Structure 1
């Protein structure tokens, strides 16, 4: 099997959640590989900082302020891409949130935020990317950034609803594979499921303070966002006839 990113160089990739953490790590790797990367996130200033850092690389990062829980903002972002950069070849659904909530006494607003961001937004962006790929005869690639919690239920306080949303991503990956097969499409779909990754996700959820992040992760072997970026590059590098349906990636020694 020949591993190569050559066919993607110069092509357009959309990465959601590109302002920090895993999404930023993925965007950076794809820019370094020569793609024209459109970052969608609410914190445009963070993406602009990353774009400045990546100046001089073979690709480029285009930040677009987008709240993926608002369908109209997703549609506007995709419209801008089509009018200014051309056909979409890659979509990476990396936007995700946790919230400090549970099932027995949880907050409905938080539940909606979790499902809107982790599951429904992924459905909308996937639909729009596939419509564009098919309209332009592009055999593209859709990548969902899932989690170990989308395959097994972790015994960890406040992750019950988050895990439920991510199990939905696992089901949607297989659902899409079957749909694409039914129309004989060569668009590929991959779910990448990391274990523990050192990001601000749990701090942004209110599960711990930002100042406590290092101590929180200290005793747990963890990945870093760049590792997930490398995983995305790997699945994109495989030949067109190869479908990496699910990739589970954990730190060596993760407990």
Structure 2
């Protein structure tokens, strides 16, 4: 990780859960971390005063291209540009394919697919503009990006995550064609104890009690592992399941 000391990382969806844990882990490693989220006060509360890095809380909405472009402009003006992008922002919902509202489907696709793609494009262009050839782009995906959906309720979310898997491979091949040394990868976790499950009614208190959870810090450690590899090594995908998981 020493090569990234003092460099700039952008973490989307940094207000809670996995994004918050990643932001703090990178600050502890000495990076300048921009935590992008709608709930900017929650990002500010993550500040670690004794850590070697620094956290910058920035308000933004990944479902809005205008908001994303504004965030990248702020980073360019104030910190120089993005060297590491962690595409963590995501939304979920129990949205049956035969009855859900179009607006709810669109919200998932706008954040989990289009927002991720816009951030990826802008991060790469920032690196290209500054001659950065050792940057890193990491998508926080899901086990559901690798397996068929278990029910109609999560099929649209699963489709979005399968799209992320396809987009990552497309990005890798683009970078190879450019002979770029910029690396990319994804972390695909199973059950992680985060507030995202508050949006899934099936996760009643009884179900949550029986679910074998991982913690957000487990995923943050996987991100650090991916970043820490020798520049000749590209860890393309890390699938992480909790012990006893049926997912």
TM-score of the pair, normalised by structure 1: 0.93
Q: Any residues of structure 2 matched to 1:26-175 within 5 Å, and which? A: 26-51=22-47, 54-138=48-132, 139-156=134-151, 158-175=153-170
C-alpha displacement of 1:24: 0.6
Residue 20 of structure 2 is matched in structure 1 by 24
**1:189-208 paired onto structure 2 within 5 Å:** 189-203=184-198, 205-207=199-201
1:220 alignment partner, one of 207, 211, 216: 211
SS at match of 1:37: strand
Please tell me whether residue 233 in structure 1 is matched to residue 227 in structure 2.
no
Residue deviations 1:163-202 (CA, integer Å, cap 9, x gap): 0000000000000001111111111010110011011112
Shift of 1:206: 4.6
2: CA distance, partners of 1:61 / 1:216: 35
2:15 matches 1:12: no
Q: Which residue of structure 1 aligns with residue 171 of structure 2? A: 176
1:105 positional shift = 1.1
Q: CA distance change for structure 1 residues 45 and 208 in 2, over 3 Å: closer, same or farther?
A: farther
Structure 1: segments with no counterpart, 5+ residues = none
Please list every run of 5 or more consecutive structure 2 residues that lacks an aligned counterpart in the other structure: none
Q: Structure 1 residues 207, 14: CA separation in 2 closer, same or farther (over 3 Å shift)? A: same
Pairs aligned (count): 245
In the aligned structure 1, how far is the partner of 2:69 from the partner of 2:19?
20
Q: Which has the higher contact order (CA 8 A, sep 6+)?
A: 1
The answer (yes or no) to whether the contact 2:91–2:108 under 8 Å persists in 1 is yes
Question: Of the candidates 224, 241, 244, which is equivalent to residue 250 of structure 1?
Answer: 241
Runs of 4+ in 1 over 6 A off after TM superposition: none
Indicate conservation of the 8 Å contact 2:72/2:81, yes or no.
no
CA RMSD of aligned residues (A): 1.3
